[in-house]
Amino acid sequence: MGKYILKRLGISVGILLVVMFIIYALLRSLPASYVETMAIQLSQAPGAKPYDVWVTQLNEQYGLNVGLVQGYFVQLKNLLTGNFGDSWKFAVPVTQKFSQVIGISFVMGAIALVLEILIAVPLGILAASKQYSRRDYAITAGALIGISLPTFFFATVLKLVFSVKLGWFDLFGLVGRDYPNLSPWGKFWDMAAHLVLPIITLVVVSVGSLMRHTRTNMLEVLQADYIRTARAKGLRNRRVILNHAFRNTLIPLVTIIGGSLPGLFAGALITETLFAIPGIGYTSYQAMVAGDIPFSMFYLTFLAALTLLGNLLSDILYAVVDPRVRLG
Amino acid sequence: MTRKEQMLLEKRRLAKKVPQSQYLTQMRDSRNALEIEELRTCFFTDAGVVQASDGVSFDVPMGKTVAVVGESGCGKSAMGLSVMQLLQRPQGQVVGGAIRLNLGDCAYDIAKTPENVMEKLRGKAVSMIFQEPMTALNPVMTIGKQLQEVLELHEKKRATKRHAIKLLDMVGIANGKGVYEMYPHNLSGGMRQRVMIAMALSCNPKLVIADEPTTALDVTVQAQILELLKSLKDKLGSAVLLITHDLGVVAEMADFVVVMYAGRVVEQGTVEEIFYQAAHPYTIGLMKSKPVVGRPVESLYTIGGKVPNPINMPDYCYFRDRCDTKTEDCDGQYPAQIQLSDTHIVSCYRAFPREDADGKHSGS
């Protein structure tokens, strides 16, 4: 087991290096060049140096005067020595900006994921245990509606109903107007109230696919011979489903959930933007548009590392739920 | 038969409070462990209704082995699953007839028994051994747990590890303690089938249904498993309903044989009657198509043609179009059953007593 994990980690590092190169190459070829935008601005100042001179000077200053490969190794060396650099767009160290915005995205994503699992798995099992019943049709139709709803539309409808018509929540923002004057508990509740609509949006638009996965897996498991054996023993339907079928359903679900872990850190670009929540999704979007290489590089590398880790994690979890899988 | 009727049957099956008088019954002969009478089992498919068992009747005497033989798709497994009420629901339903199971002090008509009562009978009064030992055990549960589950369910006491290991010993697994902790994928096919047998026999059932118990095993293991089944059956006094298409297994195990074709019983009798005095052309064909050691042949005998479409069966002998010996009588409606001896029954026009002088059709 230990040896297997070490081997997988080694492979992951190799993949990560390649991915980082691709990220760097892509960022370098972005049409939105931070340096050019800045050079235009600087050259327009009265009595300033011409644009070409500024570009050359800035390129040198930002380390863009070298080729792709050389630039990549410079970046790599910086990253490996723990020097992540300063964000060009936000003019603060990358890690500082990142840690400012990641928290809220993570909290939102984690709550949404937990709710999603708590809603999707039981409903999927309920639907599958009585296939083609009214209950099944209702749940499947609900899942389909959730999948089909575009985030921006659903978020807007929620805002219309709960903020505009009912006035229960603020229209957007992470904190209310009186936030600084509130007690610590008041601050907590204020923030929680502002997160309700974004989290509902996230859950509703993503719960459907997990539910359908659960239902399909469960249906497949319920067809299995060992389920018939369990029934032949005289077990009640409830126990057949909970004791015999459920654990077998978990096997594919673990992969899906493991694969969605990096998503916790990816933020939710559209939702965060719609609700004006300063999370990582919104911030990385701003950085990317501005051509902010250090921030984008750090963020994308971080996600790549998480994805690799998530895959490794789900493979290990496989072995935990399924005794037939032996790692090695 | 429509979808509505199927839903009605399903509803009746799942009804919670059903008075005992609805499903308790009397055995016709108290020496029988199981009596099946005019059993009709249907599958409601999108293409139409398939009659998997169409008026099947036979008895399983206590402590005896009755083999049901027939080709694939003839309805023998569906019949077995009907006795367990384990048909793929809601599509598969028992729509008529009676399945009387003798529990000694009382008898249940399984065709009318609701699901919540059936749960108490399954695994205790009647149990089943399935065809595929590879997939019939839950892959994520230890053998011990799967065995203990049955005991805890029916024996009403805290089943212990010792009890489960004793069962493993009973079916000839030497390393009971080790196997107890193992998962199904750690065992060979023969071992798994032994575990299945241990599971099926753990509560001393009155009747064991073995649905092709040896088909998936290689020949040497087959013999061991059959030997085991036979000795345990005698020890526990259970009756066995053996579903198979292997005539060698039938000769080895059975006291009585029921031959099924396209959902109907075409012939039944003692094993000697079926093997030496087969009367139905289908049975004769089956006997001819089995290889005999020491008799070299170019190719084995086959019955030509194929089984008619199970949806909308015609009302004439289902075997007519494949029969070597058909007469003009065979165009008539489905032949009635003829009693050739106390135990030997056949459905064939050729077995009808003839009045005209040259009527004796000399068949095989």
Handedness of CA A307, A308, A313, A319 (dihedral sign): positive
Mind listing the pLDDT tens digit for each residue in A279-310? 888 888 888 888 888 888 888 888 888 888 88
Q: Give the residue on A whose Cα is nearest the Cα of B80.
A: A232
Nearest to B132 among A225, A247, A321 (CB): A225
Contact A231 B86 (CB under 8 A): yes
Instruction: Flag whether A73 is in a domain.
Output: no
**Greatest distance between any 2 Cα atoms in chain A:** 92
Q: Which of A226, A239, A321, A324 to probe by mutation at the B interface, max B CB count within 10 Å?
A: A226
Given pLDDT bands bounded at 50, 70 and 90, which one contains residue A96? confident
Which tokens belong to A215? 């239902």
For position B132, what pLDDT does the model report? 83
For position B354, what pLDDT does the model report? 61
CA dihedral angle for residue B182, residue B188, residue B194, residue B197, rounded to 10 degrees: 90
Contact B86 A228 (CB under 8 A): yes
Instruction: Flag whether B340 is in a domain.
Output: yes
Q: Which residues of chain B have a CB within 8 Å of the CB of A236?
A: 119
Task: Give exposure, B265-278, as e/b (b: 16+ Cβ within 10 Å).
Answer: bbbbbbbebbbeeb
Contact B119 A236 (CB under 8 A): yes
CA–CA dist B265, B345 (Å, integer): 9
Given pLDDT bands bounded at 50, 70 and 90, which one contains residue B358? very low
> Looking at this predicted complex, what is its ipTM?
0.85
State percent of chain A over pLDDT 90: 12
Task: Give residue for tokens 């299995």.
Answer: A224
Q: Which residues of chain A have a CB within 8 Å of the CB of B199?
A: 229, 233
Q: Which residues of chain A have a CB within 8 Å of the CB of B139?
A: 226, 248, 322-324
* Residue A145: other Cβ atoms inside 10 A: 12
Instruction: Flag whether A100 is in a domain.
Output: yes
Contact B130 A233 (CB under 8 A): no
Q: Which DSSP category does B359 fall into?
A: G
Domain count within chain A:
1
Q: Which residues of chain B have a CB within 8 Å of the CB of A228?
A: 86, 130, 136
Contact A226 B119 (CB under 8 A): no
User: How many angstroms separate the CA of residue A321 from the nearest CA in chain B?
Assistant: 8
Q: Which residue has the higher pLDDT, B101 or A60?
A: B101
* Residue A30: other Cβ atoms inside 10 A: 15
Domain count within chain B:
1
Task: Please state whether beta strands B65-69 and B256-261 pair in parallel, antiparallel, or not at all (unpaired).
Answer: parallel
CA–CA dist A226, A239 (Å, integer): 13
User: How many angstroms separate the CA of residue B213 from the nearest CA in chain A?
Assistant: 13
Contact B130 A248 (CB under 8 A): no
Contact A234 B137 (CB under 8 A): no
For position A311, what pLDDT does the model report? 83
Task: Give residue for tokens 């399945």.
Answer: B99
Nearest to B130 among A228, A248, A323 (CB): A228
For position B357, what pLDDT does the model report? 41
User: How many angstroms separate the CA of residue A1 from the nearest CA in chain B?
Assistant: 19
For position B362, what pLDDT does the model report? 42
Peptide bond into B90 cis (omega under 30): yes
For position B35, what pLDDT does the model report? 93
Q: Which residues of chain B have a CB within 8 Å of the CB of A248?
A: 138-140
For position B5, what pLDDT does the model report? 80
DSSP state string for A104-118: HHHHHHHHHHHHHHH
For position B361, what pLDDT does the model report? 46
Could you tell me how many CB contacts below 8 A there are between chain A and chain B?
A: 69
Residue B258 pLDDT > 90: yes
For position A327, what pLDDT does the model report? 64
Contact B84 A247 (CB under 8 A): no
Q: Which of A136, A219, A221, A229 to probe by mutation at the B interface, max B CB count within 10 Å?
A: A229
DSSP state string for B85-141: T-SSTTTEEEEEEEEEEE-SS-EEETTT--HHHHHHHBTTTEEEE-S-TTTSS-TTS
Instruction: Flag whether B164 is in a domain.
Output: no
Q: Which of B140, B149, B150, B195 to probe by mutation at the A interface, max A CB count within 10 Å?
A: B140
Residue B345 contacts residue B274 (beta carbons within 8 Å): no
Contact A232 B135 (CB under 8 A): no
Residue B69 pLDDT > 50: yes
The DSSP H or E segment spanning B260 is: strand B256-261
Residue B333, Cβ density class (10 Å: 0-12 exposed, 13-18 middle, ≥19 buried) = exposed
Residue A286 contacts residue A119 (beta carbons within 8 Å): no
Q: Which residues of chain A have a CB within 8 Å of the CB of B150?
A: 233-234
Instruction: Flag whether A221 is in a domain.
Output: yes
Mind listing the pLDDT tens digit for each residue in A28-54? 888 777 888 888 888 787 777 777 888
Contact B183 A323 (CB under 8 A): yes
Which domain CATH number covers A154? Answer: 1.10.3720.10
Residue B276 contacts residue B265 (beta carbons within 8 Å): no
Q: Which of B138, B146, B151, B192 to probe by mutation at the A interface, max A CB count within 10 Å?
A: B138
For position B157, what pLDDT does the model report? 66
User: How many angstroms separate the CA of residue A232 from the nearest CA in chain B?
Assistant: 6
User: How many angstroms separate the CA of residue B146 from the nearest CA in chain A?
Assistant: 9
Nearest to A323 among B127, B130, B140 (CB): B140
Sheet of strand B338-339, all strands in order from the earlier edge strand to the far edge: B126-129, B207-211, B239-244, B65-69, B256-261, B264-270, B345-346, B338-339
Q: Which residue has the higher pLDDT, A261 or A215?
A: A215
Instruction: Flag whether A252 is in a domain.
Output: yes
Q: Give the residue on A whose Cα is nearest the Cα of B14.
A: A237
Highest mean pLDDT among A84-88, A140-144, A173-177, A255-259: A140-144
Residue B360 pLDDT > 50: no
Instruction: Flag whether B303 is in a domain.
Output: yes
CA distances from A111 to A47, A78, A104, A213 (A): 54, 34, 11, 20
Contact A226 B153 (CB under 8 A): no
Instruction: Flag whether B343 is in a domain.
Output: yes
Residue B191 contacts residue B171 (beta carbons within 8 Å): no
Q: What's the mean pLDDT in B172-201? A: 90
Q: Which residues of chain B have a CB within 8 Å of the CB of A224?
A: 135
Q: What's the mean pLDDT in B29-55? A: 89
Q: Give the residue on A whose Cα is nearest the Cα of B203.
A: A233
Which tokens belong to A240? 């057949």
Nearest CA to A27 among A296, A215, A276? A296
Instruction: Flag whether B169 is in a domain.
Output: no
The DSSP H or E segment spanning B56 is: strand B49-61
Task: Give residue for tokens 């065979």.
Answer: B330
Nearest to A234 among B122, B138, B139 (CB): B122
Which long-range contacts link B359-363 to residues 24+ away (Cβ below 8 Å)?
Answer: B361/B325, B361/B327, B363/B281, B363/B284, B363/B325
Contact B139 A244 (CB under 8 A): no
Q: State the residue range of the domain holding B332.
A: 264-359
Contact B140 A224 (CB under 8 A): no
Nearest to A232 among B127, B132, B183 (CB): B127
Handedness of CA A173, A178, A184, A186 (dihedral sign): negative
Q: State the residue range of the domain holding A278.
A: 96-293
Which residue type, as a one-letter code, is found at position B17? Answer: K
Which tokens belong to B339? 């009693």
Residue B363 pLDDT > 80: no
Nearest to B122 among A225, A232, A324 (CB): A232
Mind listing the pLDDT tens digit for each residue in A233-245? 988 888 898 889 9
Residue B74 pLDDT > 60: yes
For position B73, what pLDDT does the model report? 82
Q: Which residues of chain B have a CB within 8 Å of the CB of A219?
A: none
Task: Give residue for tokens 């997990």.
Answer: A210
Backbone angles phi, psi at B15, to 5 degrees: -60, 140
Residue B197 contacts residue B228 (beta carbons within 8 Å): yes
Residues of A engaging B, defined by a Cβ cutoff of 8 Å: 224-226, 228-236, 243-244, 247-248, 321-324
CA distances from A39 to A32, A56, A87 (A): 13, 9, 17
